[in-house]
A and B are shown apart, each in its own frame.
Chain A
C-alpha cells in the first residue's frame, strides 16, 4: 500500500515570498509518479507538477518546483514569488505501478493563504 503524508494543515505566506509545502510518501514500488494539485475554493482540481521516480532532475513548471529527495521519500512543492491567487488547498499525490498502488493516492492537503 502507498501513503502520502502532508503534515501542514495550514500555511501562511507573504505575497511575493517563496513557500515550501511538505510531502512525504511511502511505497514499495520502485517506479512511481508524484504529483501536486491545487484546489481553489471553487473546487476544481488543477494539476501543477509531476515528478517521476527515475527522473534525475527536480521538476519545474513556471513558479512551481518540486524538491524531490528520493532517499528521504519526500516531494516538497516550492512556490516562488507567491501571488494572492495562489491561496488554495494543495494536495500531494502519488501513483505506483502495481496493484492498488496504480490508483492516485492523495494526502490530506495543505491550505495555503497568501497575505497581501
Chain B
C-alpha cells in the first residue's frame, strides 16, 4: 500500500456522462498530481494542486476539472465523456510543491462505452 488512495478502482460509464475520481494523498503530503495513461498518449500530466491551490496545468482538456479540498483530498471531474477518455487515471502525491519524489496511487481505470 503506497498510502495514496484512489477510488473507485474501476469505472464504466457511457459517452456524454460525467464522473468524479477521488484521491486521498499520503499522510502529510500537500501536493497532488493527476496523470492520465492511455494507449496512444502514454503517461501525461494533467494538473497539480498544492495545499488547495492549483499550481500547474498540463494537457488537461477543458471538459476536465479538478480541485483539492481543505482536508487535502482531491477530485478529478470528467464531463461529456468520449470514447477516447478511456484510460487509467493516476493520482500521485508529494510532501512539498517541488518535491522530487512522487508516490502514486493504484489508479482508476475508466472505460467509456
Q: Which residues of A contact B (CB under 8 A)?
A: 33, 35, 37, 42-47, 50, 52, 91, 95, 97, 100, 102-109
Contact = CB atoms under 8 A, between A and B. Distances in A.
B107 A104 contact: no
Contacts of B90: 45
Nearest to A43: B107
B100 A44 contact: no
A91 B43 contact: yes
Given A43-B107, A91-B43, A103 B100 contact: no
Given A43-B88, A105-B45, A106-B42, A52 B104 contact: no
Interface of B: 2, 33, 35, 42-43, 45, 48, 56, 58, 88, 90, 92, 98, 100-107, 109
Nearest to B106: A44
What's the dominant secondary structure at chain B's contact region?
strand
Given A97-B98, A104-B33, A105-B45, A43 B104 contact: no
A104 B109 contact: no
**B45, B100, B107: which has the most chain A beta carbons within 10 Å?**
B100
